[in-house]
A and B are shown apart, each in its own frame.
Chain A
Amino acid sequence: MPDPAYALEISNLTKTYGNGFEALKGISLNVEKGDMFALLGPNGAGKSTTIGILCSLVKKSSGNVKLLGFDIDTHFSSAKQGLGIVPQEINLNQYEKPFDILVNQAGYYGLKRNDALERTEYFLKALQLWGKHDAQTRFLSGGMKRRLMIARALVHKPELLILDEPTAGVDVESRRSMWELIKEINAQGTTIILTTHYLEEAEQLCRNIAIIDHGKIVKNTSVKALVAELTHETFVLDLGQPLKQAPALDNFSLTLRDSHTLELIVDEGQNLNDAFIQLEKFNIHVLSMRNKTNRLEELFVDLVKKKAGEH
């Protein structure tokens, strides 16, 4: 059994579909064991194709992939033994019961029935699904189905868990509780790779990040390093009194969104207090302030825009 430093090693991975569409154009990335890694990208960037290749649902065109030290060309079965997948779309049998789904899943990985039953109960309880263990899956809410898919991916205790947009379409409360669960799983030593559209999710959960666009990795770094690259932040200011036009501030860009809202761009190194001092001089009172978008989102949009310009 190999004991590699990396849970995932991808080099020069390409995928061209039958219709000629090049989904992956030679991506390379490594994910360390124990890491919580985010794979970000706009729709059609190649995230799901990458995940599909890792779980054998998509055949790669060329390149090398090692999962938990096992080359998928020669030892895919061994690699899969330590892999858990939570797909983007719900792929549950609607007429099966959560209990049966988990017991069966454990069986596909060769777990003996007693172990399978024990783990099924444990994970259904851990994901607050035990109350529905005997109900047909079609009667579960969307959030419960997502949790069930996570439980299904965990039942054989994988070393590497891949979550493809696990919180898509989930309400805020469920999303937060899912984040806690994902953190807990990672804290227990499971490597996690997460694809998401919610950049806040990546910033909250992950240590390292890769941004993929048009089938290429455009950024692969730590979340901290990426946030440090932020050159500006945009704030939305809610005003006490209505304004007809935005005042001109020294060194700050200020635009009027509507009579009660201003948008302020603060560049790297600028002091936000200076902007407030100047606003005070214009007798403008700010009631509240918030980030226009998640900080990472601004970077992401900048990066993707930059790359779109190159294409």
Chain B
Amino acid sequence: MQLNLQWVALCTIVRKEVKRFTRIWVQTLIPPLVTMSLYFIVFGKLIGERIGEISGYSYMAFVVPGLIIMSVINNAYSNVVSSFFSAKLNRSVEEILVSPTPNHVILWGYVSGGAIRGLLVGALVTLLALLFTRLPLHNIAVTFTVVFLSALLFALAGFINAIFANSFDDISIVPNFIITPLTYFGGVFYSVDLLPGFWQNLSYFNPILYIVNAFRYGFLGISDVNVYASLAGIIAFLVLLYGFAWYLLVTAHKLRN
């Protein structure tokens, strides 16, 4: 397939994905805003005011970057996993598989769709957060790089989950039992410096800790980990997951007979 035709195919998949999640905006865009509002009110205002400052910032300002990246991660992931798994389940994915669209275009199309939803929700949550607190922007390049790469990374993870999934239960296992706990223990609500030695060391094995801290650094200029090592880690995972997802598509794992 010629490059210009591949571009048309890519735009088609991305447009279809964006249309899908905007069509059901009540299910896709509103719930994260409601959830985040509750976090801001409960953790930021009610509890946060009693906690005081962390590293020179109000508790509200401290938790906001983590909550933004948490919503980006969850939405990028869930968009791709639910969209691709549904297409697999009702076999409408065959529309693309029988077409000349190359595998890498299919992959980029779905992943871009998921990343766009993640970034859109992230932007909406950021606007919402501004109603509750003042949010400085310490390093715009780091902020945008982290959020963009994280959205792509978790969209890719969602794609891989969708390929392996055999039922709707299978697409909820990873977000519920892996991503959510890792996010909560990933320093969204606290600095790992506050933890006792063992738990602090254990936290360093949590990849989401690096994403949350790098993103927080972009806004506030504070981090529990080396920001550039975090960025390198995100890129390494991105390459690894992309390679794996592409391999699954090429070998037609659970897609072709």
A-side interface residues toward B, CB under 8 Å? 17, 52, 55-59, 76-78, 80-81, 83, 85, 87, 89, 91-94, 96, 100-101, 103-105, 107-113, 152
Contact = CB atoms under 8 A, between A and B. Distances in A.
Which among B1, B97, B98 has the greatest number of chain A C-beta atoms within 10 A?
Answer: B98
A100 B99 contact: no
A301 B241 CA distance: 53
B100 A17 contact: no
Given A57-B257, A59-B257, A152 B95 contact: yes
Interface stretch (B43-51, B85-93, B119-127, B224-232): B85-93
Interface string B1-35: 11011101101110110010000000000000000
Contacts of A52: 257
A56 B256 contact: yes
Contacts of A105: 95, 99
B101 interface: yes
Interface string B72-94: 00000000000000110011101
A80 B6 contact: no
A112 B9 CA distance: 9
B5 A109 contact: yes
Contacts of A108: 9, 12-13, 95-96, 99-101
A80 B102 CA distance: 11
B239 interface: no
Contacts of B19: 100
9 contacts: A52-B257, A80-B98, A80-B100, A93-B92, A107-B15, A108-B13, A110-B100, A113-B8, A152-B95
Interface in B93-115: 94-102
Contact of B6 (A83, A85, A100, A110): A110
B91 A110 contact: no
A17 B257 contact: yes
Interface residues of B, number: 30
A57 B101 CA distance: 14
B8 A110 contact: yes
Which among A83, A107, A108, A110 has the greatest number of chain B C-beta atoms within 10 A?
Answer: A108
Contact of B98 (A57, A101, A103, A104): A57
Interface string B236-257: 0000000000000000100011
Given A107-B11, A112-B8, A56 B97 contact: yes
A76 B1 CA distance: 10
Nearest to A109: B99
A103 B90 CA distance: 19
Contact of A93 (B4, B12, B87): B87
Nearest to B1: A77
Given A77-B100, A107-B12, A107-B15, 19 more contacts: A56-B97, A56-B98, A57-B256, A57-B257, A59-B252, A59-B257, A85-B98, A87-B91, A87-B94, A91-B90, A91-B94, A91-B95, A103-B12, A104-B12, A104-B16, A107-B13, A108-B12, A108-B101, A110-B1
Which among B87, B90, B95, B256 has the greatest number of chain A C-beta atoms within 10 A?
Answer: B95
Contacts of A17: 257
A80 B16 CA distance: 21
7 smallest A-B Cβ distances: which pairs?
A110-B5, A107-B12, A108-B99, A91-B91, A93-B92, A80-B100, A77-B100
Contacts of B2: 110
Which among B2, B8, B91 has the greatest number of chain A C-beta atoms within 10 A?
Answer: B8
Contacts of A100: 16, 19
Nearest to B11: A107
Contacts of A78: 100
A92 B100 contact: no
A57 B99 CA distance: 11
A85 B12 CA distance: 19
Which among A81, A96, A104, A110 has the greatest number of chain B C-beta atoms within 10 A?
Answer: A110
Nearest to B2: A110
Nearest to A103: B12
A57 B5 contact: no
Contacts of B4: 110
Contacts of A113: 8
Contacts of B8: 107, 110-113
Which among A57, A76, A81, A152 has the greatest number of chain B C-beta atoms within 10 A?
Answer: A57
Nearest to B101: A108
A92 to B, nearest CB: 6
Contacts of B5: 109-110
Contacts of B94: 57, 87, 91
